[in-house]
Amino acid sequence: MKFLCLHGAGTNADILKSQLMPLSNALSREDATEFHFVEGECESTPVEEVTQFYQGPYLSFYPWPPRMQEAEYDDTRERAYELIYEAIEEDGPFDAILGFSQGASLAYSFLQQHATKHPYDPPWSLFRCAVFVCGMPPFRLNETRQPSLHRKPSASLGQAVNAQELSDCLSSLAASKPVLRSEESRDSDSNSPSCSASAGSTFSQQLTSTVSPASAISSVVSLDPNDASFKLESDDFELAFDEDFRALQIPSVHVGGRSDKVYNLTRKLYDGMDRNNALWVEHELGHTIPWDKKNTQTFVEAIRRLERSAVLT
């Protein structure tokens, strides 16, 4: 299986390679697997934890998090689309597109804009499937207010988080530090938080025999994915989602961390998918790519199920 991979904000391609190393090693042991990486061009300020463990340059695909009335956002996002098209032309064809954090949001918006511009192309013309890790629907923060996400019975987006925490959270790789541990310590880590997988479709049912359903899913507030112009507001923030937010027509895997401050945003992206075509994989970590043996194996199972589903698409 051949992946085109998009990194998170304030990082780079080499950092994503490090984050994906446990997954790529596990997949390669079973079958031939290739990972190709696209790198953003916007210089960014990383959080301290990134600089302690990884060298720069620290890059993003576009300003992150994007804000209303930010002219640079549209231009740089279009340039990011061009980078993906160039990678497809030079290194393709690819089986799947994989994105982490900003890269996941970019992957989703890229697929949607391509479908809009090329309505007569089959959905699988560029990629047969997609993987979103800590992926969120395309959104913008209203800069006229102090963006702050609050837990509310009517529209929860996760733990309380102020503007700076949100920016740090979306670009932080602090939880990825254990990737630097040896393979032996990862394999022996029997107490690591484990993944679970859940969905209501044939696509995911084969996974539930080996991993238990996600216990936290029932407590997540459901946001209406059919309301394309959905806005979540309070007295001090506004979070507006792009108007073209809609289900993909290719199979997808969505990986989210129960301790992620933007957990419910990752759920919103999954909730907007066709449940017969999407799989939710959940772990107990934060805004990161799972690294330990238990979580990695569940991730591998999800990828293999995705691969089989994509063949039938």
Phi-psi region of 57 (alpha: psi -120 to 50; beta: other; left: phi over 0): beta
CA distance 243 to 230: 8
Rounded to 10°, the helix 293-312/13-30 angle is 80
- Over the stretch 159-212, which tens digit does the pLDDT of each residue have? 334 455 555 555 443 333 322 222 333 344 444 445 555 543 444 433 332 332
Q: Which among 182, 163, 173, 153 has a CA at the least distance from the CA of 60?
A: 173
Q: Which two tokens stand for residue 118?
A: 């090329």
How far is 176 from 288, CA to CA, in rounded Å? 6
Mean of pLDDT values over 258-283: 89
Q: What is the DSSP letter of 14?
A: H
Q: Which tens digits make up the pLDDT trace of 69-81?
A: 677 888 899 999 9
What pairs with residue 133 in β-bridges?
A: 100, 255
Q: How confident is the model at residue 298 (pLDDT cuts 50, 70, 90)?
A: very high
Say whether the peptide bond before residue 46 is cis (omega within 30 degrees of 0): no
Q: What sign does the dihedral 54-56-58-59 (CA atoms) show?
A: negative
pLDDT at 66: 81
Q: pLDDT (tens digit, 9 = 90+) per residue, 218-250? A: 222 223 333 333 333 434 446 667 656 678 889
pTM tops 0.85: no
Helix, strand, coil share of the chain (percent; to 5): 40, 15, 45
Alpha helices in 62-221 (DSSP H): 71-91, 102-117, 163-171, 183-187, 202-205
So what's the pLDDT on residue 67? 77
β-pair type (129-133, 252-257): parallel
Q: Which two tokens stand for residue 46?
A: 């990383």
pLDDT of residue 275: 81
User: Which residues participate in catalysis according to the annotation?
Assistant: 101
Of 260, 250, 238, residue with least CA distance to 107:
250
Q: What is the predicted pLDDT for the residue at 306?
A: 93
Q: Are 68 and 240 in contact (CB under 8 A)?
A: yes
